[in-house]
Amino acid sequence: MGKTSANRAGTRVSLLSAAAAVTMLSVAAIAEEAAAEDTEQDRDTRAGDIIVTAGSLTSPDMPATTPVRVLTGDELAHRRQGGLGETLAGLPGVHLDNFGGGASRPVIRGQTLPRIEILSDGANLFDASSVSPDHAIATDPLLLDAIEIQRGPAAIRYGGNALNGAINLIDGKVPKAVPERGYSGAMEFRLGTGDEEKTIVGRVTSGLGRFAVHAEGSWHAGEDYEVPNAFGTDKLKDSFADGSSYSFGASLITPKGYIGAAYTRQDSDYGLPGHSHRNAVCHTHGGPDLHCAAHDEFTDYFGSSDDHTASIKLRSERVDVRADYADLLPGFYRVRLRGSYTDYRHDEIDGPALFSHYTNEVHDGRIELTHKPLLGSTGTFGVQYTHGTFTGLNINDLHILDDLLTEDAELFGFFDFVPPYDHVTKNVGMFLSERRSFGPVHVELGIRKDWRDISLPPGQFVVILSPELEAIYLPLLLQIYGPDWRNAMREDAIKLYARNNPGTKNGPLSASLGATWDLDGGYSVALSLARTERAPNLRELYAYGNNLATNSYEVGLTQSRRASSSFPESRTDVLETARSIDLTVRKRGGPLEFEIGLFRQEIDDYVFARLIETDSESGIPHNYLLYTAADARFTGIDGQAGYRLSPVSRLTVFGDYVGARLKDGNDNLPRISPGRLGGRYEWALGPISADAEYYRTFAQNRSASYETRTGGYDMVNATLAYRFDRGSGKYAELYARGTNFTNELALSHTSFVKNQSPLRGRSIVFGMRQQF
């Protein structure tokens, strides 16, 4: 039962260094304030405003050179759903990789995690969503103030995983200001028809002198959601999603900024539609052939019906430390600190069997300094350090471990490492970006260097022999290993483990050059050139075995020769290298506004899963996939244009298209988003607002060899809201949001399980929200 994974490191990186930095920042800020208290202006911000900090994807003093969409206010409130992917789906350039009602990942310009980075107020978010599509992103959109979506490379500040874009989740759990009236808050209630949704959300911030405290929470319950009858049933089995989240935070507010911390916990329980354990028996015999039938030691270790529910129970705990200060240090505009500790874990359950358990424990810290003009330019220098231990990869038989260590061991003996197997990642990153304006032309230059080290320390080595077996084998063991045969056997096993699970060291280097030209009348043109290097993630490197979520047997880059001598050499040195060019044309102000982005990427050593063969002996096709590095090209266009027809109405047209191909021409890349074109009409008069939206997602005919063509579909959505304004920023609102009004069967080509998990059928959410 040898597995390809790693073991838990005995040492833990503490937050002492972050706490020390916090203390020094606090002392410096208070001292600085005391010296200049009589000349400083009050910089408190009204509660409810969205603060764009130095950690955001947009900056008030420098326009972005790639498209950035900010989702906030009423639009965010009405679009919010339980998953981040569903919340953002339909925005220009953003599609959906869905897995029922519980797990949904956004797809930007044809690519999803790990080629887009998810951020929490400018700090990296850590969970297990990048290693499998059935793993939810650990955030609750119901508690967000705003979401920023950057389409295009964002690697300078956030590393190579932002090769194709970044999504910044802005929340209020660490207060940035003392509420103007001493307190502020909001609550929301929602009921939905499509999945019998029931949701409660609440938040409150209170101030006392220079201190502000914040508490928030949400509870959500959704049954299996309705799908069109054309799917063969009216509800998608095991698409339910339940969850809760809460957070407590506090800050010290000064005229120069704030420093604070927050604790957040999220719990989720959601189903995995179409999940099957029938292919858990799939295996190889050291060659390129996949065999999905039980024999000899390759048995059906689930040994039970495949009719019951499969689900994931998730728990994520996170501590955030945040600070943003202006004019704190001589020569610097801003000082910004982000520190976090994440303790993430989830169980994968199939009926009575808890067959897999994932954990991700991460310490992360970053500090950024933005200097004042130097030789005519301003810039930001930053340093980031990350230490994480990840477990769970390639484990599907956790539920029979006790039997292996007791009953089977008594009969046959047991010599092997046992879970958990750790993957320990250490990463240090340094970056610098410089900006300068030459009249109407704004130029930005950036560079980032990372040093990443992944190690797989061997875990607990277990030797179990019954007295009867030991009496039989002891003379042979003494002859081979000597008197200390147990330790000698362990040393040999460690050497074999190290050969099968090599560590990796990578040093990605990324650079970018961008310029924005402001023209008359609110027009601007931006051009961005970027060279981004990305190191493969854990699954791409170390996959070795069945992934039941995607019905595939996967082999990572470091495991290829271990799987078969006919496969390419195992590699630890792969670095994706993308050369990108982005052209963005904008118009701001006046009745006509638009933002349109054109892009092209040439990617060397693009890592993807190439099909070796498909086996259907179990009745469910199972793909044998080998992670491969090959050259690829992406080109496309996305954007939107809005025209204000009258003071109370606006018409917007939006769309996107991505073309992707492998340069060797032997296959197409999998799960590339199809083209889309749509329009939205918005109307608001007094307390009443409404919108109606239609878009056409076209068929995707260019599919990989193990995919099928995906038909196009039409989507019609609409919102109606009535607001009761009570003055001083207080209001109550009643709203109804309907999606897929035509109840059309819609399959997402970007999903691993498009045929198992169609998009939701007709659904209407009724909500009441209040701000006080």
What are the tens digits of pLDDT across the range 73-127?
999 999 998 899 999 999 999 999 999 999 999 999 999 999 999 999 999 999 9
Amino acid at 218: S
Cα 626 to Cα 553: distance, rounded to the nearest angstrom: 8
Q: Which two tokens stand for residue 353?
A: 């069997």
Average pLDDT over the chain reads 91
pLDDT band of residue 287 (cuts 50, 70, 90) is confident
What average pLDDT does the segment 169-186 reach?
95
Two structure tokens written together for 674:
């199809």
For 727, residues 6+ apart whose C-beta sits below 8 A from its C-beta are none
In this structure, are residues 672 and 750 in contact, taking their beta carbons and an 8 Å threshold? yes
- Give the containing element (helix H, strand E) for 192: strand 183-192
pLDDT at res. 49: 33
Q: How far is CA 468 from CA 189, 403, 471, 493, in A?
A: 65, 19, 5, 24
pLDDT tens track for 343-382: 999 999 999 899 999 999 999 999 999 999 999 999 999 9
Q: Quick one: pLDDT at residue 410?
A: 67
- At residue 270, does pLDDT exceed 70? yes
The phi, psi pair for 495, rounded to 5°, reads: -65, -45
Instruction: Tell me what pLDDT residue 302 has.
Output: 84
Beta-bridge mates of residue 454: 425, 504
Please give the residue that has the higher pLDDT: either 457 or 305.
457
φ, ψ (nearest 5 deg) of residue 687:
-80, -5
Predicted structure pTM score? 0.92
Q: Over pLDDT 90: what percentage of the chain?
A: 82
Predicted local confidence at residue 29, as pLDDT: 42
DSSP secondary structure of 453-518? EEE----EEEEE--HHHHHHHHHHHHHHH-TTHHHHHHHHHHHHHHHHS--EEE--EEEEEEEEEE
Q: How many CB atoms lie within 10 A of CB 718?
A: 17
Q: For position 698, what pLDDT does the model report?
A: 98
What's the rounded Cα separation, in Å, for the pair 574 and 552?
Answer: 23
Residue 748 pLDDT: 97
Supply the pLDDT for residue 409: 66
pLDDT for 128-162, tens place per residue?
999 999 999 999 999 999 999 999 999 999 999 99
Residue 640 pLDDT more than 90? yes
Q: Cβ neighbours of residue 708 under 8 Å, at least 6 residues apart?
A: 755
Which residues have C-beta within 8 Å of that of residue 694, sequence separation ≥ 6? 678, 679, 680, 714, 715, 716, 717
pLDDT > 70 fraction of the chain, expressed in percent and rounded: 91
Q: List the single range of 25-29, 293-297, 408-412, 597-601 with lowest mean pLDDT.
A: 25-29
Compute φ and ψ for 230, nearest 5 degrees: -60, -20
The enclosing H or E element of 156 equals helix 155-158
Residue-level pLDDT at 685 = 97
Mean pLDDT, rounded, for 7-26: 38
| pLDDT band per the 50, 70, 90 thresholds, residue 300 | confident
Task: Please return the burial class of 66, using the count of CB atoms within 10 Å of its CB with bins 0-12, 13-18 and 19+.
Answer: buried
pLDDT value of position 745: 98
User: What are the structure tokens assigned to 99, written together?
Assistant: 């897995």
Spatial contact of 384 and 126, defined as CB atoms under 8 Å apart: no
Overall residue count recorded for the chain in this entry: 772
pLDDT given at position 415: 84
Q: Is the pLDDT reported for residue 665 higher than 90? A: no
Of 59 and 432, the structure prediction assigns the larger pLDDT to 432
> Residue 715 — very low, low, confident or very high, per pLDDT cuts 50/70/90?
very high
Q: pLDDT higher for 716 or 181?
A: 716
Which one is predicted more confidently, 247 or 469? Answer: 247
CATH superfamily of the domain spanning 16-456+501-771: TonB-dependent receptor, beta-barrel domain (2.40.170.20)
pLDDT tens per residue, range 30-83:
334 433 333 333 333 333 333 334 346 766 566 789 999 999 999 999 999 889
Query: What is the model's pLDDT at position 12?
Result: 34
179-188, 409-418, 614-623, 637-646: least confident range? 409-418
Asked if the model's pLDDT at residue 282 lies above 70, the reply is yes
Between 112-116, 577-581, 665-669, the lowest mean confidence (pLDDT) is in: 665-669
Q: Above 90 in pLDDT, residue 257?
A: yes
Distances (CA, A) of 428 to 7, 113, 370, 387, 541: 21, 21, 20, 9, 20
What is the model's pLDDT at position 710?
98
Provide the CA 564 distance to its chain's centre, in angstroms: 32
Which of 249-253, 272-276, 331-335, 650-654 is predicted least confidently?
272-276
Assigned token pair, 644: 């204000």
3-state DSSP percent of the chain in helix, strand and coil, to 5: 15, 50, 35
CB atoms within 10 A of CB 688: 12
CA distance 497 to 554: 19
CA dist 87 and 96 (Å) reads 9
Beta-carbon contacts of residue 136 (< 8 Å; ≥ 6 apart) = 83, 102, 103, 104, 127, 129, 268, 270, 312, 314
Reduce the DSSP state of residue 32 to 3 states and report it: helix
Q: Would strands 622-646 and 552-555 be described as parallel, antiparallel, or unpaired?
A: parallel
Question: Looking at residues 703-731, what average pLDDT do you find?
Answer: 95
What is the band of 403 on the pLDDT scale with cuts at 50, 70, 90? Answer: confident
Angle, helices 485-500/467-481, rounded to nearest 10 degrees:
80
Q: What is the pLDDT of residue 48?
A: 33
Q: pLDDT at residue 445 above 80?
A: yes
* pLDDT of amino acid 23: 38
User: Which helix (H) or strand (E) segment is 155 a member of?
Assistant: helix 155-158
